[in-house]
Structure 1
Amino acid sequence: MKGHTAHAARLGLERGLREFRHTLLSADQTFNLFVMVAFVVVLVLQRDSTVEGTALSLAAVTMPSSLGMIVAFNGLVGPAGQLAVNREDGTLLRAKAVPGGVVGYLVGRITQVSLDALISATCVLVSGLIVVSGLLGGTNWPLLAAVFVAGLLATMPWGAVVGSLTRSPQGAMGLTMLPMMGLTAISGIFYPIYGMPQWVQGVAQVFPVYWVGLGTRSAMLPDEAAAAEIGGSWRHLETFGVLGVWALLGFLLAPTILRRMARRESGADMEQRRQAALQRGSV
């Protein structure tokens, strides 16, 4: 049984790598190019402003914060959209019919989402280097990698839950994009969180977006920059604690919902969703 599962996981890894290579040549890279241009514009507008209590430019703080946002965005939106699409096009139903197919499918999705997040984060880094110089020299790379992994673990299972509960890719996008936009606005990504009302700061600290952003800032900014954070500290213990709780709850909940969703998948349901997609496309 263990050997069978390992074989399915290995096939899933190969599939995820293959699909990732395919996306590198797809229109998705146009979106990454747009993201790079957009970040350059934002950073240029911010580079002459400084963060209160520090000598750092606002652009220097926004760049690592944006890395955190990208990690959380890919971890939540990526699995939700892909799972919803794969339910609609029959990919998940075919995986269900093959021994170990669901395990392989999930490993493939995790692989692709993680690599997509890495590419998106690299785009942010490259765009940041155009405007903010000298930032990478003091980066704590092991800490940055740990925050990257913890952020994905804290968000990917919740993206899978949303993708399992929605009936269409549009529904999955609506239930992930809108909350992400709201959380980004209040989580100190583009503007220091100390400028927010106290109750807004409290709400932001419940969710992973703020903590991933804080973690990436702590890995890339000098220690004195912590003066602009809540409590005047990078709060590493709290960062990994909150992200760990979200990951633990997500991985406890997601498998049950995914198994239930997979059991209910049928050819009739897939055909119904396909017809609904065709009707949306003809409107």
Structure 2
Amino acid sequence: MSRADVAGAERTRPALPGTVRLAGARVGYELRAYFRERDAVVFIFAYPVIMLAIFASVFGKDDATVGPGVPFTQYFLPGMIATGVMLSSFQNIATSIAVERDQGSLKRLRGTPLPSASYFLGKVGQVLVATLLQTGLLLAAAGLLFGVDLPTSAEAWLTFSWVFVLGIAAGTLAGVAFSSVPRTSRSATAVVVPIVLVLQFISGVFFVFNDLPSWMQAIASVFPLKWLAQGMRSVFLPAGAEAFEVSGSWQHGLTAVVLVVWSVASLLVAVRTFRWLRRDES
């Protein structure tokens, strides 16, 4: 074949779809792969509902309240939403990427024309869709089965939206950054899950945050889960409930700052440390 024929073939070869279009296709692929892991999906979707049911059964008797007009179930619902976001974003992403790397999927993917941005946007889209479904299920269960009062004002749902989106961003990017820590797919769960459990215990998910020791509060305040849970409490608890917070206010501005800082810092770390190959292939 002559050089002219080669040049002509190059000109007639169809152009690859754009990054955004490929990202949309990647979201579909990621969702199909995600829902094929039925045991993991059931755990991630059912865990917040089960924990809320436990709290409702143990603490919801005899009109027990955290404070005036704040039943225990109402108080712990925001924490369950926050921990659901963390499971669907940080834990899911950190574990799944570590597995894909160890099994060689990332290596094979790196050899295709798929832009890196499309791959990561696919992960973000998968987390967003899965978290929306999970949160919708939790809110439906809270309202229908446990009698939790859901917000009725547009302002409350607007606050819910930006806290929710920033929480997903922080959790997903932190998961991408942390995915390089596990050495193998078998160690991924053992490395990631204990971190998630510890943060749940110290971040006001399982206990009233104001009742925790001050040193636990200080440690939790460094991490996004505490702020995600606090932001969600501002949505689902009455206005007077902010007096139960350590600072005496919802601290919306600081919540946004912490979640944005975690998102940016995680992105910078991920850019510098993300690996497409296993350690023994680097």
The verdict on a shared fold, with TM-score over 0.5 as the criterion, is yes
Contact 2:82–2:228 (CA<8 Å) still a contact in 1? yes
User: Any residues of structure 2 matched to 1:231-250 within 5 Å, and which?
Assistant: 231-250=247-266
Summarize deviations over 1:55-88 as a string: whole Å, max 9, x none: 2101101011210121123221111111011112
Aligned counterpart, 1:171:
187
Q: Percent identity?
A: 26
Partner of residue 268 from structure 2, selected from 244, 252, 255: 252
| Paired letter, 2:177 | V
> Does the residue aligned with 2:179 lie in a helix, a strand or coil?
helix
> Does the residue aligned with 1:233 lie in a helix, a strand or coil?
coil
Contact 1:95–1:101 (CA<8 Å) still a contact in 2? no
Runs (4+) of structure 1 moved beyond 6 Å? none
Cα displacement (A) at 1:5: 9.7
Does residue 153 of structure 2 align to residue 132 of structure 1? no
Contact 2:65–2:72 (CA<8 Å) still a contact in 1? yes
Aligned counterpart, 2:110:
96
Aligned counterpart, 1:273:
none
Aligned counterpart, 1:202:
218
Equivalents in 2 of 1:117, 1:25: separation in Å? 16
Aligned counterpart, 2:241:
225
Does residue 202 of structure 2 align to residue 190 of structure 1? no
Does residue 65 of structure 2 align to residue 50 of structure 1? yes
Does residue 128 of structure 2 align to residue 117 of structure 1? no
Q: Which runs of 5+ in 2 are unaligned?
A: 1-14
In structure 2, relative to structure 1, the CA distance for the partners of 1:182 and 1:165 (3 Å cut) is closer
Partner of residue 13 from structure 1, selected from 24, 28, 50: 24
CA RMSD of aligned residues (A): 2.4
Equivalents in 2 of 1:22, 1:180: separation in Å? 23
Q: Which protein is bigger by CA-based radius of gyration?
A: 2
Cα displacement (A) at 1:96: 0.7
Aligned counterpart, 2:4:
none
In structure 2, relative to structure 1, the CA distance for the partners of 1:196 and 1:5 (3 Å cut) is farther
Equivalents in 1 of 2:93, 2:114: separation in Å? 19
In structure 2, relative to structure 1, the CA distance for the partners of 1:38 and 1:197 (3 Å cut) is closer
Equivalents in 2 of 1:34, 1:246: separation in Å? 25
| Paired letter, 2:220 | A
| Paired letter, 1:56 | V
TM-score by length of 2: 0.84
Equivalents in 2 of 1:23, 1:157: separation in Å? 18
Summarize deviations over 1:96-147 as a string: whole Å, max 9, x none: 1122443222121111122222222222212212103322335711111111
In structure 2, relative to structure 1, the CA distance for the partners of 1:169 and 1:155 (3 Å cut) is same
In structure 2, relative to structure 1, the CA distance for the partners of 1:34 and 1:207 (3 Å cut) is closer
TM-score by length of 1: 0.83
Structure with bigger helix share is: 1
> Does the residue aligned with 2:206 lie in a helix, a strand or coil?
coil
Cα displacement (A) at 1:21: 4.4
Equivalents in 2 of 1:71, 1:34: separation in Å? 11
In structure 2, relative to structure 1, the CA distance for the partners of 1:91 and 1:25 (3 Å cut) is closer
